[in-house]
Amino acid sequence: MSRPGLATELLSGQFLKHATERRTLPDPMLADSISPGATKPEDEHRRDICTVGRWIHSRAFVASTDGNISVRLDSRRVLTSPTAISKGMMLPDDLVITDLRGKKLVGRRAASTELAMHLLIYNRRPDVNAVCHAHPPVATAHAAAGIALNKALLSELVISLGCIPVAPYGTPGTQELSDALEPIVQHYDAILLANHGVVTCGADLLTAFFRMETVEHFAQVSLVTELLGKQVLLSGRDVEKLLAARARYGTTTASTVTPGCPVTSDNIATAAGEPDRISITRKELEALIEEAVRKDRALR
Ligand SMILES: [Zn+2]
């Protein structure tokens, strides 16, 4: 209270105004939002990757130094998170620039060990400018159980991602993982990696990150419906209408190319791995039992 003029500031409300201004000064390292779009200065891409790193860490989509994030800078360069650092603690200068074959061009640190997976996606998908890989727990549990997130449970998921398949297992950080992904990266914007985690991609980093959030959210909803013991799937007709509406939402990837994907109330009985279930009322069951007993008596 010894600063000259402080009392006057307090009385006039100026102190509060100044204090608030000091707390909200724009600090690029503390930014909690990123703008959509893939055409930006390199500095902004660096800050965006650090921001998404903090988001996936704070949402517990990764533990320790897991996960990796990258952005396509132009036709020959990729900006990627480095290996062996918490994605919640990255600074813009920690990031690494490589070419599309993985050769380091700029950076003090080593590039992500999963860079080959990112490069596979950039090389196969000219529409993709950002890739996000993480281990969100419920979606990763589905990947570990070999359970695809492919049921037509939520209308918005049918529109946005269609199906989220499980890619066969491949050792992380090796060619095996890229080989397992290669046949399906063309068709899906989000893929579960068996016994590992999730990879998502998009036209920009915000989209790739949102898809990671959507996968984990859907995995949670799907799990809870399993725990509730009941899943009411959309019908094939419902799904057709949603797929027809995709263009209005700007969804372009045909992520429903696999027959029976997504699984609807019409095809659940024949979907791979699903038991052939029917449902009948108690009255119908009683009638069936009575009929069987009557026939049995008639035979004696
Ligand atoms: Zn991983």
Ligand 1 mean position to 178 CA, how many Å? 13
Contact 88, 58 (CB under 8 A): yes
The 10s digit of each residue's pLDDT in 258-292 is 667 889 998 876 554 555 555 667 887 888 888 88
Neighbours of ion ligand 1 (CB under 5 A): 197
Q: What sign results for the dihedral spanned by CA atoms 225, 229, 235, 236?
A: positive
Assign residue 162 a region (left: φ > 0; alpha: ψ between -120 and 50; beta: otherwise): left
Angle between helices 42-58 and 205-228 (to 10 degrees): 20
Ligand 1 mean position to 129 CA, how many Å? 20
Would you state the pLDDT for residue 20? 43
What DSSP assignment string belongs to 226-291?
Answer: HHHT---PPPHHHHHHHHHTHHHHT----TT-STT-SB-TTTTTTSTT--------HHHHHHHHHH
Ligand 1 mean position to 234 CA, how many Å? 32
Would you state the pLDDT for residue 150? 93
User: Tell me, what amino acid is at 261?
Assistant: C
Q: How far apart are the first and last CA of the chain?
A: 104
Ligand 1 mean position to 253 CA, how many Å? 24
Ligand 1 mean position to 73 CA, how many Å? 23
Spell 107-126 as b/e; 16+ CB within 10 A means b: bebebbebbbbbbbbbeebe
The 10s digit of each residue's pLDDT in 30-77 is 568 888 999 899 999 999 999 999 999 999 999 999 999 999 999 999
Ligand 1 mean position to 197 CA, how many Å? 6
Would you state the pLDDT for residue 255? 60
Show the low-confidence residues of the chain (pLDDT under 50): 1-4, 6-7, 10-11, 13-26, 272
Ligand 1 mean position to 172 CA, how many Å? 7
Ligand 1 mean position to 206 CA, how many Å? 20
User: Tell me, what amino acid is at 136?
Assistant: P
Would you state the pLDDT for residue 11? 46
Ligand 1 mean position to 135 CA, how many Å? 6
> If you search the block for the tokens 């029917």, which residue do you land on?
278
Would you state the pLDDT for residue 246? 81
Ligand 1 mean position to 134 CA, how many Å? 6
